[in-house]
Structure 1
Amino acid sequence: MPKTRKVIVTCAVTGSIHTPSMSPYLPVTPQDIADAAIGAAEAGASIVHLHARDPQDGAPDQSPERFAEFLPIIKQRTDCVVNITTGGASTMTIEERLRPVAQFKPEVASLNMGSMNFGLYPMLDRFPDLEHAWERAYLEGSRDRIFRNTLGDIENILTTCAENDTRFEVECYDIGHLYTCAHFVERGLIKPPIFIQSVFGILGGIGAHPEDVTHMKRTADRLFGEDYQWSVLGAGRNQMPVALQSVLIGGHLRVGLEDSLWAGPGRLAKSNAEQVTLARQMVESLGMEVATPDEARDMLNLKGADRVAF
């Protein structure tokens, strides 16, 4: 019998895209975030991807002090791989965004591969009633805001983390981002196995049409050959269709309330675990298995949870 293929399921539990007024289920407080990550792991997530928020109003908060309130809890109660963002929010400086990863030295950190428009303002039409003053300004401001990730910024993150043996979930929102990743691979700053997270359906990046997904996979195959693992995330209603296509063509997937608030047409997901469960059921219905955290560590050549600083 051939070995059953293992699929890495990442769960991004809160992010910085959606705002608290959009869903009562979006994790905001440190306890909310810890509980969401633990629930996702118990539902089968191999990796949890973490942002922090101000517990009072839910605004993105990249201070190490905020991460310190939930990282140890997650580590104590699960064996999942912890992935800390260096994306933070588009309103933050690179220095702010890098601080938690530099301090806590996780097994994995996210790393965006290019500056881009990151349009959130269309959500104002769908969510006109916003409770907190920052929410409207944050969304409206994305009309003219650049999400900065220059070549120098990327190099700074890579070199700062080089001695920590933190590996990277390389987030690629368009074809050119794959070529930027290849540039840093050629320079030896990103080392195989490369973990590519292709992002579909964000205004300013590549779309979520099946041909877009195929184009990204085909390009990554040509650039990286056997030296990478490919995962996807689809924004909003694209979440599960893009995940399904990835699994069918040999890839992995990401779900979570950072990427989509929904568990079906017009139905808000009540937890991150609900989305992980849907993803796991899909994977298993196709005759595959969700990778355990240790299997994900093996596939990605991670250093292990005993070597992080939290």
Structure 2
Amino acid sequence: MSKVMITVAPTGGMASKAQNPNLPTQPGEIAESVYKSFKAGACIAALHARRPDDGATCNADIYRDINERIRAKCDIVINNSTGGGSSGDMLIERQDGLYESSFEERLKGCEAGAEMATFDGMTFVDVHGGKEILVITPPSRCETLVKRMTDRGIKPEWEVFAPNHILQDVTRLIQKGYDKPPYYINMVLGADKGFQGAMPYSHDVLTAMVAALPPQSIFCVSAIGPAQLPATTQAMLLGGHVRVGLEDNNYFSKGVLATNEMLVERTVGIAKALGLQPTSPAEARDILGLAQR
């Protein structure tokens, strides 16, 4: 049987408990949700950190606390975000009335001993909580970020939202030697109103992005809200891997709030119905070229 890696993204940097009380935000909650998702069939955990007041952060001490709690429970592959979020430690108020996402804070996501880290190389404007937030990642910052990862033995998860993200910085940095094959590229689709420059999900958009991948790549698909279910199902049909979780989607079905493990369990069921076998963390490390624990 073919194998599929299922990633759980339990928290994210934007959603709140007001939107879904099942959202885990504190280290103990996140670790427990990841463990339940691991038992349900997830092999990778894509993690965001939150402060005690639930504000977004990349604080290495908080990430380290989350990572150690997860490690005490299971051997799931740990992937810490360097994207941060739209609140808390991530925001710098500018004199022009805009806000800017702190690049120095984002770099801290590489300092907690994760095996992987998300590489977000985009420059865009986010609107969240009434604030216009500039996320500025020009080529020089892209190189600083990926070098921070590789210097610490962290494999990048190249996160892309549109074909140009693949064809520009990701391909350029791969060609400069900042990653070894297989290159793991996570495509995020379906974000509302083009958030982070994301493309809407459709069959044609996803197949076009798969066609744009550099040689020796493997891909994962994440999708926002109602796009999550069809996009991840198509990804598996195309031979890719998938990410599900409350970072991307609060609902199991219309009007029914989800938990992370509910979304993982459904994805495992679909994978098996398609003749695919969810991988264990050890198998995922073999696929990704990571050292075994």
Q: TM-score, normalised by structure 2?
A: 0.90
Aligned pair count reads 275
Whole-angstrom CA distance in 2 between matches of 1:19 and 1:9: 23
Change (3 A) 1:95 1:139: same
Residue 76 of structure 1 pairs with residue 72 of structure 2:
yes
User: Partner of 2:94 in structure 1?
Assistant: none
Displacement after TM superposition at 1:46 (Å): 0.9
For 1:287 and 1:53, locate their aligned partners in 2 and report how far apart those are by CA, in whole Å. Answer: 37
Task: Report Cα offsets for 1:249-290 as digits up to 9, x if no partner.
Answer: 111100010000111122110x21111001000000111111
**Equivalent position of 1:99 in the other structure:** 108
1:175 correspondence with 2:159: no
- Of 173, 182, 190, 2:179 maps to 190
Select the residue among 21, 32, 36 that pairs with 1:35: 32
Aligned-residue CA RMSD (Å): 1.4
The gaps in structure 2 that reach 5 residues or longer are 92-100
Identify unmatched segments of 5+ residues in structure 1.
120-137, 306-310
Alignment of 1:301 with 2:293, yes or no, is no
AA paired with 2:281? Answer: P
Contact 1:200–1:207 at 8 Å: present in 2 too?
yes
Q: Does 1:210 align with 2:219?
A: no
The structure that is helix-richer by fraction is 1
Contact (CA 8 Å) 2:80, 2:117: kept in 1 or not? yes
Compute the displacement of 1:162 (Å): 2.0
Confirm or deny: 8 A CA contact 1:86 1:98 kept in the other structure: yes
Match of 2:60 among 60, 64, 79: 64
Describe the shift of the 1:207–1:11 C-alpha distance in structure 2 as closer, same or farther (beyond 3 A).
same
CA distance in 1, matches of 2:200, 2:27: 33
Counterpart residue type for residue 197 of structure 1:
N
User: Which runs of 4 or more aligned residues in structure 1 lie more than 6 Å from their structure 2 counterparts after TM superposition?
Assistant: none
Distance 1:11 1:162 in 2: 23
Report the AA paired with residue 62 of structure 1: C
3-state SS, counterpart of residue 252 of structure 2:
strand
What are the superposed Cα offsets for residues 203-233 of structure 1, whole Å, 9 maximum, x if unpaired? 321111221111111111xxx23x1111100
Match of 1:114 in 2: 122
Tell whether the 8 Å contact from 1:19 to 1:59 is kept in structure 2 after alignment.
no
Equivalent-residue separation in structure 2 for 1:117 and 1:289 (angstroms): 39
Q: Which residue of 1 aligns with 2:244?
A: 255
CA distance in 2 between counterparts of 1:55 and 1:217 reads 39
Distance 1:76 1:259 in 2: 26
Percent identity for Structure 1 against Structure 2: 28
Q: Which has the higher contact order (CA 8 A, sep 6+)?
A: 1
Asked if structure 1 preserves the Cα contact closer than 8 Å seen for 2:27 and 2:69, the reply is no
Question: What amino acid is the match of 1:173?
Answer: F
> Are the aligned partners of 1:30 and 1:55 in contact in 2 as well (CA < 8 Å)?
no
Match of 2:3 in 1: 6
Alignment partners' CA distance in 2, 1:104 and 1:189: 20
Shift of 1:116: 2.2
Paired residues of 2:149 and 2:156 also in contact (CA < 8 A): no
Q: Which residue of 1 aligns with 2:95?
A: none
**Structure 1 residues 304 and 94, CA, compared in 2 at 3 Å: closer, same or farther?**
farther
AA at the equivalent of 2:266: L
- Determine helix, strand or coil for the equivalent of 2:130: helix
Confirm or deny: 8 A CA contact 1:165 1:303 kept in the other structure: no
